[in-house]
Chains A and B, each alone.
Chain A
Amino acid sequence: MKKRSRRRSLAAGLLMGGALVVVGSGYAVVSAETTPAPPAGTTSSVEQLQLGRQLFLEGCSSCHGLDGEGIAADNATGGNGGPSLIGVGEASVDFQVSTGRMPLAVPEAQAPRKDVLYSQDEIAALAAYVATLGPGPANPTEEELNLEGANIAEGGEIFRTNCTQCHNFAGSGGALTDGQYAPAITDATPKQIWQAMVTGPQQMPVFSNETITPEDKKNLIAYVESLKVEPNNGGLGLGRLGPVTEGLFVWTAGLFFLIAAAVWIGAKVR
């Protein structure tokens, strides 16, 4: 009786194990079909994903959670308040890490651009890993970033309609509310500008490929690149911030010169 019952439970165990294997592998096959394939142009090998996972656990998970699910900001539990990374896509990771904004040094109003902590390969691995968490915006292809033959004039029009209000007419950036700001985009590479448009980092709205097409984006980026090499036609650029710095310059340097001239004219000669 005792023996039979043990054998029966052994059989039940085997059956259960077999069923689990079948369901598990079946699920793996099904989920492999529903998981979006990694975007074309990337080589996310198993080693790369493993490296990405490793780097993620070491550098990102303390704020974004062990599986990128995000952690609520909470003083009681010590939660660091990193948002969920599920569905942010590889473009977002590549942008945030390749501009040095992530990993964050301290939580503040806005993540500033700073020195990059990861190598190109490591960034690619991180991006590839986070891209597996959920479908999101992909990186631009080489062809999409090839600025040859781009229409700079039309790019300028798109830039002035959709970008200048925050990033300034010369891409020098500007202030927002509560200590936040639109950064200068003169340091950004064409790839980073593209990534920022499709992912909408921090307070920036998303400019999707449907409203501003890849062709528009190419023209726009070519215009920004032309701003970078354009000389300051008026002499001192003064940060290309417009009347604020120009007025300040005139009211200090210009007024100082006028006062010095007046003193010289009025001084008694010996």
Chain B
Amino acid sequence: MTTHDNLPAAADHAQAIEQAASALPAHKPRRTDVDPRAARRAERQVALMFLGSAVMTVLFVVAFVAIPVDRSVYIWGFGSVNASNIALGVTFGLAIFLIGAGAIHWSKKLMNEKEEVQLRHSLASTEEDRQAAIEAFEDYSADSGFAQRPIIRRSLLTAMALFPIPLVVMLRDLGPLPGEALRETLWQPGSRIITDPTGRPIRPSDLALGGLISAMPADLPLVQEEEGNLNARAKAAIILVRMEPQEIVSQQGDNWDYGGILAFSKICTHVGCPIALYQQRTHHLLCPCHQSTFDLADSGNVVFGPAARRLPQLPITIDPEGFLVAKDGFAEPVGPSFWERGDA
């Protein structure tokens, strides 16, 4: 049985086509069909586009070889731009665009555009075919005894329902569980605080009132050198801000500041963007990604945005040499929430 089986019989075929064609509006010839000059002009235009593409391809290679990558050029309306990038982009873009445009122009102006009629059979199967299919299904169903033997039917359905479970269980092996890694940072009691990225220890007097500085633990550069990744930095990054001690409404622990200097994790608790848009007058810290806003004068609580938890505070003090150090590690995991984190 082929798809042509239910087309009209051959004798009717030509007649049906004629009938369909007569229902169409009369074919109007294009200018290029009746005027040889217009046709020649269209021919020239198409050829020009194809040749233009060829020229652009050659120019692309020339530009690639000839223009130094660091040469910049001033283009009106664009400003100062990289000459090589612009030349490569324009030539390559035009090379491919002109092939397409030429082909479209060719087909629209010169290729035969006379309407043609093709017959299509109806999409549905014939009534006999459908009846036969239903009969066959019922026959085979009765032969299998699927309906008469419920114990087989139910045990098969049970087996098939359980079968996907190993696939789900195997998901657990996709990678090691995070363990304690997400709860620990490099900060320990006595960790010295150094400026990021310049790596200098900080005295309390270094930070002006209303001041802000990004900081990291003193052992981070070494750890990063050994581990060769940025995981330790991603967890340990902090910011230090200084405000008048009486401006501090609340803190996450007693005397976790040092003379109005507060240390907070620099990692947003929403999805972990580094966060340091600090408005020194309102003491609000904004996340640039989704506008979560934390009030650093009030325990780093969320005042706006999608973050669900306050920004963890690092308790700080000074060491005998007078430099700022961590009094203790972070009391809670820093950064975004994770499955095993729990509510705390």
Contacts and interface: CB of A to CB of B under 8 A. Distances in A.
Interface stretch (B11-19, B176-184, B193-201): B193-201
Task: Specify the main secondary structure of chain B where it touches its partner.
Answer: mixed
A165 B207 contact: no
Contacts, number: 115
B213 A212 contact: yes
A16 interface: no
Task: Specify the main secondary structure of chain A where it touches its partner.
Answer: loop
A229 B113 CA distance: 56
Contacts of A265: 104
Contact of B211 (A208, A216, A270): A208
B46 interface: no
B262 to A, nearest CB: 12
Interface stretch (B47-55, B77-85, B220-228): B77-85
A217 B79 CA distance: 28
B274 interface: yes
Contacts of A202: 281
A158 B200 CA distance: 13
Given A203-B280, A264-B104, A232 B293 contact: no
Interface string B51-80: 000000000000000000000110000111
Contact of B79 (A203, A211, A213, A232): A232
Interface of B: 28, 30-32, 72-73, 78-82, 85-86, 89, 104, 108-109, 113, 195-198, 200, 202-203, 205-214, 241, 274-282, 284, 286, 288, 293, 304
The 8 nearest A-B residue pairs measured at CB: A210-B206, A205-B212, A231-B72, A203-B279, A231-B80, A206-B211, A208-B208, A206-B208
10 contacts: A154-B197, A162-B213, A165-B288, A174-B277, A205-B278, A208-B208, A211-B195, A231-B72, A232-B81, A264-B104
Interface of A: 154, 157-158, 161-162, 165-166, 174, 176-177, 180, 182, 198, 200, 202-208, 210-213, 216, 229, 231-237, 264-265, 269-270
